[in-house]
Structure formats: structure tokens, C-alpha cells
Amino acid sequence: MRVIGTAGHVDHGKSTLVERLSGINPDRLAEEQSRQMTIDLGFAWIDLPAGETIGIVDVPGHRDFIENMLAGVGGIDAALLVVAADEGIMPQTREHLSILNLLDIKNLLVVLSKIDLVDDPEWIELVKMEIEDLLAAHQFDETPIVAVSAHSGVGLDDLLSMLQTMLKDLPQRVNYHHPRLPVDRVFVVSGFGTVVTGTLSGGTISVGDNIELQPAGRIGRIRGLQSYKRDVRTASPGNRVAVNITGISGGEIQRGDVLTYPGQIHPTLLADVHFSQLADIDRPLKHNAEVKVFCGAAESIANVRLLDKETMTAGESGWLQLRLRDALPLTRGERFILRYPSPAETIGGGLIVNARPGRRHKRFQPEIISDLDTRLHGSPGEGLALAAIGDEPYKLADLQKKLGYSDEELSSALTEALSEDLLVAFDANTYWAVESWQSVLHAIIAELSIFHQANPLRLGMLRVELRSRLGIKLSLLDRAVGTDDRLAAEGNFVRLSDHSIVFTVEQEAKAARLRQSLATMPFTPPNISDMNQQAGEEVVRALMDMRILVKVSDTIAFAADDYRRMVGDIREHVKAQGEIDAKTLRDMFDTSRKYAIAVLEHLDSLGVTRRIGDVRKAGRNL
């Protein structure tokens, strides 16, 4: 699915057009409806003729609300620029085009609205020519223009058809297994709790996933997901998503926060950026100037440190280090916009090249500028990490052959890739791209989340079953469990670390009655089918998973304390006497031959004892 943004002047009929196309009034605030002016972000969606659903972010057009507009355009695939036929181009139309250029949004469609209000065809042609000149000046030369009337419906079918044509050839959003949801709206729904909305990028998210809110670092869980008012289990990159969160209250979240997987994004107070200044701005950008930074849905005051120039004038580009007043959850490769706070004016924008430089750079340092240029245009370390994407880890020698790096180049690339967290080291000679490793971790966590939801009274999934379902090597699963604190192992089971078996009051009462009955006959317990009938199969299986019951055969299980006592006494007897048989065990615990044989066969399988004729002697694990 795709997301488009609609921009235009307050009187250009933008919201009316959206409502006519979608049936949804994007102006949700009472003040917006009374003033007939978009003040904040509005949201809707439409179904194109071919059946694809596209999301719409309706951004404010008035100059007074341009900063609200910036919170909504970061995640869009394309833009509709609405110009009213009876008014023509407004100053903010130029600013909107400049912002689209700075954010590298290339896909644009101009909508000439309100044509029903103009009787003069020559006027329409003049407005179109004016728009074409403006588009050419902003490098949108081949942008189509479609004339419509939201009132009469003229041109709406053409608009939908042109939208479909524009969007059909766009590449799908890539799933890097690094989801990022910049929050553009937060509210509380009675009976459900906190809900946030945004445009998802970078990876999928699923119901049951643990998520982290940055920059606060608060951990929560996804209780529910909706995309275009439809409940979904998993949301994919490029969609508008509403996320119902547990564990984080609405008062702790604000616009500009980012939802992601725990540990994937960290807030920063410094960022190295490549910046381009608008060609028509009057004020030069000076070192240490105070600016407003807009990235995703977030904003912060910052001071700019010019790293390679004394000042930056209209149309120039160069390197800046931003010193943010408020920590923001930025990531490499994001686009940003700078504006002067007063008088408010868009200065320019660019690309975040290093989101966590860790230190303030000295100015006019050739080695620093060279390093930033390498980061901007790609580096050996990035090439190594790209080559290490695959279904399983690579030997370093194979990566060297694949890339053709010399030993010196390989060593430098490896150091860089590891320091930038682009590679995971499995040993001194085996590496894997973080992207691939994160994909495996996400798949494990997603599979366990589904399992826990379907089987709340199971401690976890059998390790071999989980490995088989995911189609990965057992060594990878074992490493994941051993290194990721979101995962835990319990004997042969793997579970999410925050999952535990919780009985209902009724189930707890049944379990207590079963334990009481076992206490009265510890070494001749009821068979498992009788236990199931008494307490319920799910409860009995849960007690086995928790090692409160120990299963020794298909039909026999003992309370764990009684089992441990039997095994301890058997060990001591074998050590003292050299052997034990079923009759001796039967007499030691006043049990029956059936139970004695079941226990001994179980211990044979564990290597505690080994059978020789009718007796058991010490096994390898005695």
C-alpha cells in the first residue's frame, strides 16, 4: 500500500477534494470545520480503480501551520499539490514544492481544483502555464496537471487514474526488519487504552510484539493493529497504521516520538548532516545559528555548527553538525528540514549521515570532512555488510572473494562494519549482516508470540519444533536464545522472557486439588489420564512444563519433590550396593512393580542407570 500527502492553500479546496474522493472529512477538529481551514494533520484513504488502497495525509496549507505540515510529509510516497483555479499560485505553494524537493519526494501530481468557479478557459490556461513555470523552477518539469471540481465531480475519474499510473511503478517499501513508526497522533480509546498512529517504514510489526518508545525508552507491547480501519495481525512498511499499546500511557507519548523494536534506535543530541540551502533564501546560514529541526514527525531547536564553511549562502551545500536541545530518535539516511524560528522561514534540508557521532567535531578538519564524504557516498564497511546479507552467516574468506577486497581493505572494512553495528561476529572468521540476524530474531519472536497467544498454558515451544518451523539451524537458534534477553530457555523449551504460565482461579484450584491427591499417594499416583480428568489436560501439561510434575512414561507422572527423592535414593543405593532391581525399588517406596519399572526405564533413558539382565547398574550420568 502507498501513502500520499495533499498540500495546498487554505482556500484551494484540498480537504473538500479529499472528502469527495474518500468519503472522509480529514478536518477532524471543530475549529478546522468552523473556520474551513486545515490546522493539523488529517487522515483518510481511498480505493483506486485497480483495487489498491492508498492512505492520505492531508497537511495544512496555511503559512501559519507549515510546521504541522512538516510532521506529516516525511513518510509519504507521493504528493498531490492542490491549486485553486480561481486563485492560482500562493507563496506557500512555492514553499511546499521546496520542501518536497528537500525531502526527495519525486512523485508529484498537481490538482487544479475549483474549475467550476471559473468560466473563462483562457484564465484556466494562464494558471496552468504559471504552474508549469513554477514546477520547472523546482525540478518537477514533467509533472502532470489534472483539472477537477470536487463539487461537480468533473475530472475525479481522471485524477484517480493518474494517481494509479503514478504509483504502480514505484518500488515496494523494503522490509529491513528495523521498523520505525514516527507518531503523528496519540489518543485514548475507552476500553482499549492508548492508540498511536503513523506511517510505518523499515520493517513489519505484529500484534504481541514488544516495542520501545523513543526518546523516552519506555517498553510496551502491541495489543492491536489497524490499517485503514481494518484489524490486522501484521502491518507492513508503507502503510498508515494505528497501534493499540499496553504498558505505556497516552500521557507519556507525544507527536514526534518513535515506536520501534527495543534496542534498535537510540536518541541523540548530536547529528552529522549533509545540508543544502534553498536557492531563494535571503539570510545566509551562520555558524552556531539557532534553527528548528524537523525529522519524521519530530522537531527540536538546535544550533548548527558549520564544519566546512564560515557561512552558507543561497543554493550552497555542505556539512553541518546539529546540536539538538532535545534528544531525538534519529537514524542514518533520514531526511530533515531546517527552519528559522523567527521570523519563521524554511532554510533548506538534507540527509542525516551519522545519527550518533558521539562527540563535537572541530571545524575545518580535512579528515572529518573526508570521513563524512565516505559515509555519504558509501563505504567499504557498508559494502561488506551488504555482501553479508543472506540465509546464514558467511566465512570471512568467502566475503573477501565476493568483494575482491585486499587484505588491508578487508581489515579496514571489517573494523568499520563492526563499529557501526552493521555486522554480527559469530567467531573470528564468521560474520553476518545485522539485517539478516535481526530478521532471524524477529522471526523467532513473532513465532513465539503467536504460540504463546494460542497456548497460554504452555511454558514455551519445543526447541526442535521452533527450529523446524523457522527452517533455521539449531546453532542459530541457540545463539539467539543465549544472546537476546527477549528470549529464554527452559530445558527443551524456548519462550519469550516475559511469558509465564498464569492459571485462572478455577485452574489454580484444580491444580491445588491434584497436588493434594498426589501428596496422599506419592509413589502410586493416579495415571496421567486420571489426572487429566481431574484437573484438565491443559493444567496437567502446564504443571509438567513448569516441572511441578515429572513425566516418566506415557501414563505415569510424579510430583517433582517425590520424583527427586526417588532418584536420590536410587543413586545412593546403586553407589552403595552396585545395583538395583525393580523388586528392591518397589519395597523401598511401598509402590508397585508397574511404577518401579517405569521409573527405572526412565532413568535408563537419561543415562543415570543402565540395564544388565534384570538389574540396573550405574549409568554414565549416575
The predicted model gives 496-520 an average pLDDT of: 88
DSSP letters of 161-226? HHHHHHHHTSPPPP--S--BEE--EEEEETTTEEEEEEE-BSS-EETT-EEEEETTTEEEEEEEEE
Question: Which fold, 378-500?
Answer: Arc Repressor Mutant, subunit A (1.10.10)
Q: What is the mean pLDDT of the chain?
A: 88
The C-alpha atoms of residue 193 and residue 593 are separated, in whole angstroms, by: 59
Question: Which fold, 512-618?
Answer: Arc Repressor Mutant, subunit A (1.10.10)
Q: In this prediction, what percent of the chain has a pLDDT beyond 90?
A: 50
Q: In this prediction, what percent of the chain has a pLDDT beyond 70?
A: 94
pLDDT score, position 36 = 47
Return the closest-CA partner of residue 304 out of 326, 315, 317, 319: 319
pLDDT, tens digit, 9 for 90 and up, residues 361-377: 999 999 889 878 877 87
Provide the residue count of the chain.
622
Instruction: Give the pLDDT band (50/70/90) at residue 332.
Output: confident
Return the closest-CA partner of residue 196 out of 253, 234, 236, 252: 253
pLDDT, tens digit, 9 for 90 and up, residues 108-161: 999 999 999 988 989 999 999 999 999 998 889 889 999 999 989 999 999 999
Instruction: For the chain, give every residue range classified as CATH 1.10.10.10.
Output: 378-500, 512-618
pLDDT score, position 262 = 85
The C-alpha atoms of residue 182 and residue 17 are separated, in whole angstroms, by: 26
Q: What is the largest CA-CA distance in the chain?
A: 113
Determine which of 75-79, 183-187, 212-216, 583-587 has the lowest per-residue pLDDT on average. Answer: 75-79
Instruction: Give the pLDDT band (50/70/90) at residue 35.
Output: very low
Give the cell for residue 180.
Answer: 520505525
pLDDT, tens digit, 9 for 90 and up, residues 165-200: 888 877 777 676 778 999 989 999 888 889 999 999
Instruction: For the chain, give every residue range classified as CATH 3.40.50.300.
Output: 2-168
At residue 402, does pLDDT exceed 80? no
Q: Look up the pTM and report it.
A: 0.65
State the residue for C-alpha cell 510484539.
Answer: 209
The C-alpha atoms of residue 113 and residue 82 are separated, in whole angstroms, by: 7
- The answer to whether the CB of 148 falls within 8 A of the CB of 225 is no
State the residue for C-alpha cell 522561514.
Answer: 345
The C-alpha atoms of residue 165 and residue 162 are separated, in whole angstroms, by: 5
The C-alpha atoms of residue 552 and residue 420 are separated, in whole angstroms, by: 51
Return the closest-CA partner of residue 240 out of 192, 210, 299, 195: 195
pLDDT score, position 404 = 65
Instruction: Give the pLDDT band (50/70/90) at residue 592.
Output: very high
Q: What is the DSSP letter of 26?
A: S
At residue 542, does pLDDT exceed 90? no
Q: What is the number of H-type helices and E-type strands within the chain?
A: 19, 35
The C-alpha atoms of residue 367 and residue 61 are separated, in whole angstroms, by: 43
Instruction: For the chain, give every residue range classified as CATH 2.40.30.10.
Output: 181-260, 268-375
> Any idea which architecture 181-260 has in CATH?
Beta Barrel (2.40)
Query: Domain 268-375 has what CATH class?
Result: mainly beta
pLDDT score, position 9 = 55
Secondary element (H or E) of residue 490: strand 487-490
Question: Which fold, 2-168?
Answer: Rossmann fold (3.40.50)
Degrees, nearest 5: CA angle 349-352-354 = 150
Three-state DSSP state, 319: strand
Pure H helices in 304-426: 366-377, 380-387, 396-403, 407-419
The predicted model gives 517-521 an average pLDDT of: 90
Give the cell for residue 70.
Answer: 512538516
The C-alpha atoms of residue 483 and residue 416 are separated, in whole angstroms, by: 22
327 φ, ψ (degrees, to nearest 5): -65, 135
pLDDT score, position 27 = 65
* 496 beta partners: 487
